[in-house]
Structure 1
Amino acid sequence: MVRLIRPSKEPAPERDERVWEFLPSAVWDLSFRGPLEWIEERGCRDADAFKQLVRNDPDALGECLARIRIHRVSAGAVSLVGASSEEECIRRSRELLTAESKADFLRVLMAAFRNEHDVHLETAIMTCSREPRDVRVHWRFIEDESGNFERALVSVADMTAEHELEQRLMLAERMSAIGTLTASIIHEVKNPLTFVWNHLRSLRDSAEPLSPEASELIREAYEGSERIRIITNEINHLSHGGESVETETVKVQEVLDSAIRMAQPELQHRATVVREYEARNLYIRGQRTRLGQVFLNLIVNAAQAIEPGDGGQNAVTIRARSTEGDRVCVEVQDTGPGIPSQLLRRIFDPFVTTKPAGRGTGLGLSICRRIVHSLEGTIEIQSHPGQGTVARVVLPKAPRARRPLSVPPTSMSAVRRAARGKLSLLVVDDEPVIARLIQKALLKHDVTTANDGREAIALMGQHAYDVILCDLIMPEMTGMDVYRAALQRATPVHDRIVFMTGGAFTQRARDFLQSVPNLRIEKPFDLNHLERTIYEAADIVDPR
């Protein structure tokens, strides 16, 4: 039998102000007579009849909600919804319900029909300032002397922070997976790019006569491959930016130009890029990749604030200048619609975003602020609706890095090797085209090639090589395995290995590179730079 309430004069519950005034939990004390009496008046005696009523009358739930009387609320409830007083909290409680929480009220009413004393659910409400809150709600029905449900105590716990943490962890896992996948793809792109880029460069610089049309095609193809090379290197550096805390002296204009190139797909259909750099070079101390992450995020934000399709009428302006106090100021200004004041106050909070759902995580500016503060800098956002936005980063200035004035003297063994006129080299790469490319480029040296790690180890047992160029990531036996095998030889040759890498995209590879002092060269490499690296590995001053 459903315990509906019969009409009666309802006494107000006793108020204990000393308890409710200081109760930190968010609790509402409600009379539940009104909705149950209204349902009974409609002839509903069981759950099925009530379900049919809701189907036939869309306003039925609203009528039930309107008949709930709120007797009192706790101090915690006032704080949760951001009300100025208990009276405001009581007066505005119904308007703070979302469509989701109103629909969940049906579950509460159904529980009353089933004579359940407790209902637990998770839903969403709004605060008085219209900010959403994820909440966990516990309805506790209280019986009168006749055993009928008379009142309900509703306890509400704010789960927003917990849900944000869950989202942050899920996002971190997803971004980690995306980062690993991206680095893996970049590694695969860099292998063929190495020989495509170098072959096109050789054709471009060839002395053999070509028709003007062929020369133009080769030049354009080379410029395209050069753009790919720059982009893959920058993505690779960005994806590994958090691995080291070591700082360096960084030229601000170079980092900004790199970020602009990375953001070009977002910029090109939205705005014209305007550079306003101070004439002299500006330097700051930090990690190039982390600074690039900050500037890239600010530039992409500026671009995405502008609707695509009218790039000629909009601009994203990037400024870099010195300021008082020996500091450097970088500004990114857009001509977008600006940021509403209620969002601007919380713009650096995690998961706060001005972008539509699915286009932004709301973490970018929070991460930027953390990076800037770690470099003893400041970041601020200024914006007015209809007047665009300015993001301003101020960082301590660093003196320009100085190059060493002298070259260390070469060892006698290096001089003896140089006197022979040739170096004995072993090139280990699972891409035969890359191995042949290096072999052709280094014709004045004795070059042997191996297509995998096992073959390389066998060759090391037969011949003493001056330098071993070894790919880091190879199937079956990696460059790391070759290094360990070289270390275990009776006459170790591990210090002669130069690692070639298209990106250390596994944690094992990154940890390994940090643990060894060997030289390394990034694919796609310039062949002249490769030869200079070989001379350095052989402990010889480049004779050229």
Structure 2
Amino acid sequence: MLTTAPSPELIDALFNCSPVAMWVFDRETLRFLAVNDEAVRRYGYSREEFLARTILDIRPVDQRDGARAAVDLPDGSARPRHWLHRTASGEVIDVEVRRAADLELAGRPARLVIIRDVTEERRALASLRASERRFRAVLEHGTDALVFQCAEGKIIWAAASARNILGCPIDQLVGRQGLDLVHPDDRAAIVAARADSLARPFERIRGVARYGPREGPWRWLEVVRENRLDDPAVGAVVVHLRDVTEQKLAEEALRRSEESFRNVIESSPDLVVVAREGLAVYVNAAVLGALGLAREGVLGRPVLEAVHPEDRALVRAGLSVAPGASRPEVTEGRLVCADGSSLSVEFRAVPVDFAGAPAVLAFGRDVTERRRLEGRLAVADRMSSIGSLAAGVAHEINNPVASSLANVGFLAEAMAPHLAAVSAPERRELEETLRDVRDGLERVRVIVRDLKTFSHLDEQALGPVELRGVLDSACRLAFNELKHRARLVRSGLEEPVWVQGSEGRLAQVFVNLLVNAAQSIPEGAAGQNEVRLAVRRGDDGRVRVEVQDTGGGIRPEHLPRLFDPFFTTKAKGVGTGLGLSICHSIVRAHGGAIEVESAPGRGSCFRVALLGCVPAGPAADPEPAPAPFPRVSVLVVDDEPGVCASISRLLKAEHEVVTYSSSRTARELLLSGARFDAVLCDVMMPELTGVQLHAAVRERAPEQAARFVFMTGGVFSAETRALLANTGRPVLHKPFEKAQLLAALRELQESTR
């Protein structure tokens, strides 16, 4: 211990050259006696400010009471004290205070101390300790676990969190073989990973396996091994365990979802294609089935190879979709199948990520059948339009035919008394002329009847028909087509053959088949070709009629469509494609069937099967001519003046006849009180229809409405037909003759008598 004052030189050396803060204070008054330059720099007080203060002034206020203890600091070899000091700026710093020596300065007891600023050291130490605490908390309580194993795989240490992950208390883990906790199916992989880790020190070996207690439940863990046996600080294999059970379950659910989705796509009837850079990278089973190709014949090939050449530009544009595009547009194109046929496909394309790369996903739907049905619907619309046209034509023709037939009947009656006065040859010529005119009008009436049949609104009743007469008539009508092309050979017509049907409709079928057979044979070689017409009775009660020719035959691809409306194998402008379709409809309506057998170069054979029936009974004795009935008043209402005139000629000799061509005028007449024994009223008229006229009269004069007889020259809408049926009045179909007209008037008189 120093007992004498140091020299000024020594004080200067100690104070001003030391890298640490130093000062001397009075042990009794605690006032600063001297400070060095480092203390001035660190605390921010000038030397004069220091010398005006005590050591209490640089302590925080709440710690000044303990500052007196600084006087009793141990000697320099003793442990230093830690204090908090306040600088001139108000900063509180952590310092380490060590007593250097006790001495006398200017006759006063003093003490020299050394002050070292340890603020940063203390902060770093506190941070390190906090980090250690956090690391231990993570290690002990985190979701991951850390396990140390020896080279043989035995657990030598385990973090507390391993208890939760492995499902065992820590005391049951330490000393246990880690392999005991692994699922039996995963142990081989863990053994291999352990051997790999032992062979590659300080490298991380990753894997995934199921861990858990022997009784379960098993959890999926990600295992990261690092061999640090040669690290003196560790000396073990460090095994990091992370629970990935939820992730594995999610991956498994995703895998099952993807598998289910793939199964849905594979079983979908829609066509699904994924293309990348124009090449097919995926197609579902529907695509392969539609194209008739194997998967390896499609994958990796350009998508447009399967597209019809005429549609490739359109399909290419449909597949060119940009990411983020709005609702995909619908594109339609044709695909060419392996057998050469084509499919109409409607598809949408969207951009997707497929197998980690951008691609285009196209959903397609086979609309071939829909387009075919739409075509058939269009055909049906055309058929309906043609039927309506035919009905209108029938109506327009029937009016003049009815007038002409009535006039011919009138002429025949008017000329009868005068024919006795002319010579026999002249009389025969006049009679033949009238008969020819009547036959011509009858032929027109048959044509009109066929037009009405074509419209499908004028059904004929079926009954027993002698087939030989029908076939004889058909052969006569088709003879002009046959005579220049082939011989007609008939068989099976030696005896009468009866079928259930309509004579006119069956004649239409066989005329069509005979004409088609003739037109399949070129002209000029009639002696080398023939058309065979054969009738056979089957054991099933059906009668089969075959029409066979030696023509060019029909190509196989045309056979399925042969009976479709508007389909024809004839040259453009020769056929309409309606003949066989109408034949098929007629035969089906008769409860029969029609089929064809044909091959190119071998001719064709059409077979028509009809229902056989028993012959009609013997004709009944003719009924005696009806007795004449009293003279009656008749009102004729028809917008055709010729019809009004012809009916008037037929009836005016025996009855009183009034005619009107205006239905509106006739209504005013009837509603004004005029009464007639019979009203012959046309159905279709421009101002008021016959049904409307009848309804107006029934409201005001029901007894007069009960004397209506409707006349019609054609067909009309289903609504008009229903309204006509609701009137309950009889109907005369134009053209009619005098006998039919008189019979209708007689029945009317008897029903209203």
Q: Structure 2 length as normaliser, TM-score?
A: 0.52
Q: Which residue of 1 aligns with 2:709?
A: 498
The residue identity in structure 2 corresponding to 1:441 is: L
Distance (whole Å) between structure 1 residues aligned to residue 272 and residue 566 of structure 2? 28
Bigger shift: residues 232-241 or 275-284:
275-284
The residue identity in structure 2 corresponding to 1:169 is: L
Alignment check: 8 A CA contact 1:469 1:497 kept = yes
Distance (whole Å) between structure 1 residues aligned to residue 264 and residue 552 of structure 2? 49
Q: Which residue of 1 aligns with 2:649?
A: 440
> For 2:312, which of 94, 102, 118 is the aligned residue?
102
Distance (whole Å) between structure 2 residues aligned to residue 302 and residue 260 of structure 1? 12
> For 1:388, which of 603, 617, 621 is the aligned residue?
603
> For 1:162, which of 370, 377, 394 is the aligned residue?
370
In structure 2, do the counterparts of structure 1 residues 272 and 507 end up closer, same or farther at CA, with 3 Å as the change threshold? farther
Kindly state the Cα deviation for residue 440 of structure 1 after the two structures are TM-superposed. Answer: 2.1
In structure 2, do the counterparts of structure 1 residues 346 and 464 end up closer, same or farther at CA, with 3 Å as the change threshold? closer
> For 1:378, which of 576, 593, 597 is the aligned residue?
593
Kindly state the Cα deviation for residue 326 of structure 1 after the two structures are TM-superposed. Answer: 2.2
Kindly state the Cα deviation for residue 316 of structure 1 after the two structures are TM-superposed. Answer: 5.7
> For 1:428, which of 632, 637, 647 is the aligned residue?
637
Kindly state the Cα deviation for residue 532 of structure 1 after the two structures are TM-superposed. Answer: 3.7
Distance (whole Å) between structure 2 residues aligned to residue 487 and residue 265 of structure 1? 55
What is the SS of the residue equivalent to 1:192?
Answer: helix
Q: Does 1:29 align with 2:274?
A: yes
Q: Which residue of 2 aligns with 1:126?
A: 336
Alignment check: 8 A CA contact 1:204 1:219 kept = no
1:273-311 Cα offsets, whole Å, 9 max, x none, are 77767355544445678767765765675566566x669
What is the SS of the residue equivalent to 1:470?
Answer: strand
What is the SS of the residue equivalent to 1:182?
Answer: helix
The residue identity in structure 2 corresponding to 1:177 is: S
Q: Which residue of 2 aligns with 1:174?
A: 382
Q: Does 1:82 align with 2:292?
A: yes
1:341-368 Cα offsets, whole Å, 9 max, x none, are 2333565678876456898887876776
Alignment check: 8 A CA contact 1:111 1:119 kept = no
Distance (whole Å) between structure 2 residues aligned to residue 364 and residue 96 of structure 1? 37
Kindly state the Cα deviation for residue 511 of structure 1 after the two structures are TM-superposed. Answer: 2.4
> For 2:721, which of 510, 514, 538 is the aligned residue?
510
In structure 2, do the counterparts of structure 1 residues 239 and 367 end up closer, same or farther at CA, with 3 Å as the change threshold? closer
1:384-427 Cα offsets, whole Å, 9 max, x none, are 211222221212223344589699999xxx98x83x4x344333
Kindly state the Cα deviation for residue 491 of structure 1 after the two structures are TM-superposed. Answer: 5.8
Distance (whole Å) between structure 2 residues aligned to residue 521 and residue 166 of structure 1? 40
Alignment check: 8 A CA contact 1:327 1:397 kept = yes
Alignment check: 8 A CA contact 1:249 1:286 kept = yes
Distance (whole Å) between structure 1 residues aligned to residue 391 and residue 310 of structure 2? 41
Q: Does 1:462 align with 2:687?
A: no
The residue identity in structure 1 corresponding to 2:663 is: G
What is the SS of the residue equivalent to 1:172?
Answer: helix
Distance (whole Å) between structure 1 residues aligned to residue 543 and residue 725 of structure 2? 31
> For 2:558, which of 336, 343, 347 is the aligned residue?
343
The residue identity in structure 2 corresponding to 1:29 is: V
RMSD, aligned α-carbons: 4.9
Instruction: Work out the number of aligned pairs and report it.
Output: 480
The residue identity in structure 2 corresponding to 1:333 is: Q
Kindly state the Cα deviation for residue 198 of structure 1 after the two structures are TM-superposed. Answer: 4.7
1:101-152 Cα offsets, whole Å, 9 max, x none, are 22324425765799999564111223222223211133344468998x5x43
1:194-215 Cα offsets, whole Å, 9 max, x none, are 2334545766895367699999
Q: Which runs of 5+ in 2 are unaligned?
A: 1-257
Q: Does 1:190 align with 2:406?
A: no
What is the SS of the residue equivalent to 1:278?
Answer: coil
Alignment check: 8 A CA contact 1:425 1:445 kept = no
Kindly state the Cα deviation for residue 492 of structure 1 after the two structures are TM-superposed. Answer: 2.0
Distance (whole Å) between structure 2 residues aligned to residue 474 and residue 383 of structure 1? 51
Larger RCO (CA under 8 A, 6+ residues apart):
1
Q: Which residue of 1 aligns with 2:172?
A: none
Bigger shift: residues 451-460 or 365-374:
365-374
Kindly state the Cα deviation for residue 370 of structure 1 after the two structures are TM-superposed. Answer: 6.5
In structure 2, do the counterparts of structure 1 residues 352 and 145 end up closer, same or farther at CA, with 3 Å as the change threshold? same
Identity %, equivalent residues: 34
Alignment check: 8 A CA contact 1:164 1:351 kept = no
Alignment check: 8 A CA contact 1:272 1:311 kept = no
The residue identity in structure 1 corresponding to 2:557 is: Q
Alignment check: 8 A CA contact 2:409 2:738 kept = no
The residue identity in structure 1 corresponding to 2:555 is: P
1:431-469 Cα offsets, whole Å, 9 max, x none, are 22222222222344113122233454526943441x433
Distance (whole Å) between structure 2 residues aligned to residue 429 and residue 217 of structure 1? 29
Distance (whole Å) between structure 2 residues aligned to residue 306 and residue 113 of structure 1? 62
Kindly state the Cα deviation for residue 375 of structure 1 after the two structures are TM-superposed. Answer: 4.7
What is the SS of the residue equivalent to 1:227?
Answer: helix
Distance (whole Å) between structure 1 residues aligned to residue 466 and residue 727 of structure 2? 28
Distance (whole Å) between structure 1 residues aligned to residue 574 and residue 390 of structure 2? 19
The residue identity in structure 1 corresponding to 2:272 is: V
Distance (whole Å) between structure 2 residues aligned to residue 510 and residue 268 of structure 1? 45
1:169-196 Cα offsets, whole Å, 9 max, x none, are 2222232222112211221122122233
In structure 2, do the counterparts of structure 1 residues 229 and 132 end up closer, same or farther at CA, with 3 Å as the change threshold? same
Q: Does 1:240 align with 2:456?
A: yes
1:45-80 Cα offsets, whole Å, 9 max, x none, are xxxxxxxxxxxxxxxxxxxxxxx5434432101221
Kindly state the Cα deviation for residue 158 of structure 1 after the two structures are TM-superposed. Answer: 0.7
What is the SS of the residue equivalent to 2:381?
Answer: helix
Distance (whole Å) between structure 2 residues aligned to residue 472 and residue 118 of structure 1? 56
The residue identity in structure 2 corresponding to 1:238 is: F
Distance (whole Å) between structure 2 residues aligned to residue 136 and residue 202 of structure 1? 67
What is the SS of the residue equivalent to 2:340?
Answer: coil
Distance (whole Å) between structure 2 residues aligned to residue 349 and residue 79 of structure 1? 27
In structure 2, do the counterparts of structure 1 residues 108 and 519 end up closer, same or farther at CA, with 3 Å as the change threshold? closer
In structure 2, do the counterparts of structure 1 residues 255 and 485 end up closer, same or farther at CA, with 3 Å as the change threshold? farther
Distance (whole Å) between structure 2 residues aligned to residue 239 and residue 261 of structure 1? 26
Q: Point out the structure with max Rg over C-alpha.
A: 2
Bigger shift: residues 330-339 or 265-274:
265-274
Q: Which residue of 1 aligns with 2:547?
A: 332
Alignment check: 8 A CA contact 2:635 2:676 kept = no
The residue identity in structure 1 corresponding to 2:336 is: M
Q: Structure 1 length as normaliser, TM-score?
A: 0.69
What is the SS of the residue equivalent to 1:386?
Answer: coil
1:226-256 Cα offsets, whole Å, 9 max, x none, are 4322211221233234x66965445556666
Distance (whole Å) between structure 1 residues aligned to residue 488 and residue 580 of structure 2? 21
In structure 2, do the counterparts of structure 1 residues 380 and 27 end up closer, same or farther at CA, with 3 Å as the change threshold? same
Bigger shift: residues 328-337 or 71-80:
328-337
Distance (whole Å) between structure 1 residues aligned to residue 489 and residue 409 of structure 2? 31
Q: Does 1:227 align with 2:443?
A: yes
